[in-house]
Structure 1
Amino acid sequence: MSTQNETGNAMAIQDSPDARRRNLLKMTGLSIATLSVASVAAAQPSARSTKQMTDKWDKTFAKSDKVDHKKVSFKNRYGITLAADLYQPKNASGRLAALVISGPFGAVKEQSSGLYAQTMAERGFITLAFDPSYTGESGGEPRNVASPDINTEDFSAAVDYIGLLPFVDRGRIGVIGICGWGGMALSAVAVDKRVRAVAVSTMYDMTRVMSKGYNDSVTPEQRAQTLEQLSRQRWQDVEKGGPSYGPVMNELKGGEPQFLVDYHDYYRTQRGFHRRAINSNGSWTQTTPLPFMNMPILTYIAEISPRPVLFIHGEKAHSRYFSETAYAAAAEPKELMIIPGASHTDLYDRVDVIPFDKLTSFFRAYLA
Structure 2
Amino acid sequence: MNIQKVTFRNADMAWDMAALILLPEGFDESKRYPTMVSVHPFGSCKEQTSSAVYGKALAELGYVVIAFDASFQGESGGSPRYVEDPSQRVEDISRVIDYAVSLPYVDEDRIGGLGICGGGAYIFSSALTEKRLKAVVGITPVNLGRLFREGFSQYNPIGALEAMATQRTAEARGAELQVNELLPPSPEFAKQNGMTERDLFEATDYYKTPRGQAEGGATRMLFSHAQKTLSWDAFAFVETLMTQPMMAVVGQKLGAFGAYRDGHEVYGRSIVSKDRQLVELQDWSHYDLYDHPQAVSLAMEKIGPFLSQHL
Q: TM (normalized to structure 1)?
A: 0.76
- 1:246: which partner in 2? 180
Matched residues in 2 for 1:168 and 1:303: separation? 29
CA 1:69–1:160: 2 relative to 1, 3 Å: same
> How far does the alpha carbon of each residue in 1:100-151 deviate from its partner, in whole angstroms, 9 at most, with x for none?
0011111011100012112210110010100000000000001111111111
Which secondary structure state, in structure 1, belongs to the residue aligned with residue 213 of structure 2? coil
| 1:255 and 2:190 matched | no
| 1:363 and 2:307 matched | yes
How far residue 217 of structure 1 moved from its aligned partner, in angstroms, is: 7.7
- 1:87: which partner in 2? 22
Which secondary structure state, in structure 2, belongs to the residue aligned with residue 313 of structure 1? strand
Candidates 281, 285, 301, aligned match of 2:238: 301
How far residue 254 of structure 1 moved from its aligned partner, in angstroms, is: 2.1
CA 1:80–1:185: 2 relative to 1, 3 Å: farther
Which secondary structure state, in structure 1, belongs to the residue aligned with residue 180 of structure 2? coil
- 2:7: which partner in 1? 73
CA contact (8 A) 1:164 1:170 kept: no
CA contact (8 A) 2:112 2:134 kept: yes
> How far does the alpha carbon of each residue in 1:6-65 deviate from its partner, in whole angstroms, 9 at most, with x for none?
xxxxxxxxxxxxxxxxxxxxxxxxxxxxxxxxxxxxxxxxxxxxxxxxxxxxxxxxxxxx
CA 1:178–1:259: 2 relative to 1, 3 Å: same
- 1:334: which partner in 2? 276
How far residue 302 of structure 1 moved from its aligned partner, in angstroms, is: 2.9
Candidates 116, 128, 143, aligned match of 2:54: 116
- The one-letter code matched in structure 2 to 1:346 is D
Question: Within 5 Å, which residues of 2 pair with 1:1-368?
Answer: 67-76=1-10, 77-93=12-28, 94-114=31-51, 115-213=53-151, 218=155, 222-240=156-174, 243-247=177-181, 249-251=183-185, 252=190, 253-256=192-195, 257-279=197-219, 283-318=220-255, 319=258, 320-331=260-271, 332=273, 333-354=275-296, 355-367=299-311
Which secondary structure state, in structure 2, belongs to the residue aligned with residue 172 of structure 1? strand
How far residue 208 of structure 1 moved from its aligned partner, in angstroms, is: 1.1
Percent identity between the aligned chains?
29
Alignment coverage as a number of residue pairs: 294
Q: TM (normalized to structure 2)?
A: 0.89
How far residue 248 of structure 1 moved from its aligned partner, in angstroms, is: 6.3
Which secondary structure state, in structure 1, belongs to the residue aligned with residue 119 of structure 2? helix
- The one-letter code matched in structure 1 to 2:288 is D
CA contact (8 A) 2:183 2:203 kept: no
How far residue 288 of structure 1 moved from its aligned partner, in angstroms, is: 3.7
CA contact (8 A) 2:134 2:245 kept: yes
Matched residues in 2 for 1:228 and 1:69: separation? 44
Report the RMSD for the aligned CA atoms in angstroms.
1.8
Matched residues in 2 for 1:70 and 1:191: separation? 29
- The one-letter code matched in structure 2 to 1:192 is E
CA contact (8 A) 1:309 1:334 kept: yes
- The one-letter code matched in structure 2 to 1:187 is S
Give unmatched runs, 5+ long, in structure 2. Answer: none
Runs of 4+ in 1 over 6 A off after TM superposition: none
- The one-letter code matched in structure 2 to 1:245 is V
CA contact (8 A) 1:142 1:243 kept: no
Give unmatched runs, 5+ long, in structure 1. Answer: 1-66
Structure having the higher strand fraction is 2
CA 1:359–1:79: 2 relative to 1, 3 Å: farther
